[in-house]
Amino acid sequence: MTAAADGDVVLLGRSSSHFTRVARIFADELGVAYEFQVASDLMALERARFGGNPALRLPILKTPAGEWFGSMAICRELSRRATREVRVVWPEQLVTPLLSNAQELVLQAMATEVELIVAGRGAPATPHLIKRRASLESSVGWLNERVDEVVAALPEREASFLETTLFCLTEHLRFREVLETAPFQRLEAFARDFAQRPAARATPFAFDASS
Ligand SMILES: N[C@@H](CCC(=O)N[C@@H](CS)C(=O)NCC(=O)O)C(=O)O
């Protein structure tokens, strides 16, 4: 976090969560101060443990106006609170099949990764999980083949939801050992480049203590 914490804005999440990291990178790049609260148990069943989110998911942004559920809505609220002018490219500006499909596949891959992690490493290989893994591998392969073209096709910007989510997905696959990322060399090169940003350096994935 680059700005001083502001008690008015609290981000509830986990340092190991890719969706949480998307919000943290945006906050940092937009110069929005926030207090980071670690959700102690991802598997809790009480919505109060998830900032009131009935989907029982992280991250949640708590503000005086109320709670914002989900990384994209949080990033949009952070942009309304920005303390510096940053040109951001949002998903609705991705008006070609290439860019639109890239965003869809990144978000779906992030969600599929959550499913595989929650199922657990030793989970029996049911047809459902086998298909999910195949879907993840083929989506990441698609993104790897096109990442250079995608980045080149983005409108002029200082930040984009697409690149931020793609970075968090790529690093998270390696961090949680869900997929071997070495074969996806173009994605690895993209992530190495993005990782130089101060906001990426300030928000490394880590395992928080659980209650
Ligand atoms: N659409 C949500 C998805 C959030 C999500 O799936 N978060 C994961 C952590 S990275 C979670 O809360 N998982 C708990 C669960 O699957 O029960 C977003 O964009 O923030």
pLDDT of 195-206, one tens digit each? 999 999 999 999
* Model confidence band, residue 6 (pLDDT cutoffs 50, 70, 90): low
Token digits of residue 193:
């480049």
Which region among 11-15, 159-163, 172-176, 206-210 has the lowest average model confidence (pLDDT)? Answer: 206-210
Residue in 191, 162, 206, 158 with CA at minimum distance from that of residue 17? 206
pLDDT recorded at residue 3: 47
Q: Which residue owns the Cα nearest ligand 1 atom 12? A: 57
pLDDT recorded at residue 210: 72
Q: How far is the CA of 19 from the centre of ligand 1 (A)?
A: 7
Evaluate: CB of 118 within 6 angstroms of ligand 1. yes
Atom of ligand 1 nearest to the CA of 57: 12
pLDDT at 1 over 70: no
The whole-number average pLDDT for the span 98-115 is: 98
Q: 36-85: per-residue pLDDT in tens?
A: 999 988 999 999 999 999 999 999 999 999 999 999 999 999 999 999 99
Q: Which residue owns the Cα nearest ligand 1 atom 13? A: 57
pLDDT recorded at residue 211: 54
Q: 85-97: per-residue pLDDT in tens?
A: 999 999 999 999 9
pLDDT recorded at residue 51: 95
Q: How far is the CA of 110 from the centre of ligand 1 (A)?
A: 9
| Sign, CA torsion 23/143/113/122 | negative
Evaluate: CB of 203 within 6 angstroms of ligand 1. no
Atom of ligand 1 nearest to the CA of 111: 6
The 10 Å Cβ neighbour count of residue 88 is 19
Atom of ligand 1 nearest to the CA of 70: 20
Query: Which secondary structure element, helix H or strand E, spans residue 141, and what is its range?
Result: helix 127-153
| Angle in degrees, 0-180, between the axes of helices 97-119 and 127-153, rounded to the nearest 10 | 140
Q: Which residues in 21-158 belong to E strands, given as ranges?
A: 35-38, 60-63, 66-69, 88-89
Evaluate: CB of 71 within 6 angstroms of ligand 1. yes
Q: Is 27 buried (19+), middle (13-18) or exposed (0-12) by CB count in 10 A?
A: buried
pLDDT recorded at residue 2: 38
The whole-number average pLDDT for the span 99-125 is: 96
Which region among 17-21, 72-76, 124-128, 165-169 has the lowest average model confidence (pLDDT)? Answer: 124-128
CB of 74 closer than 8 Å to CB of 17: no
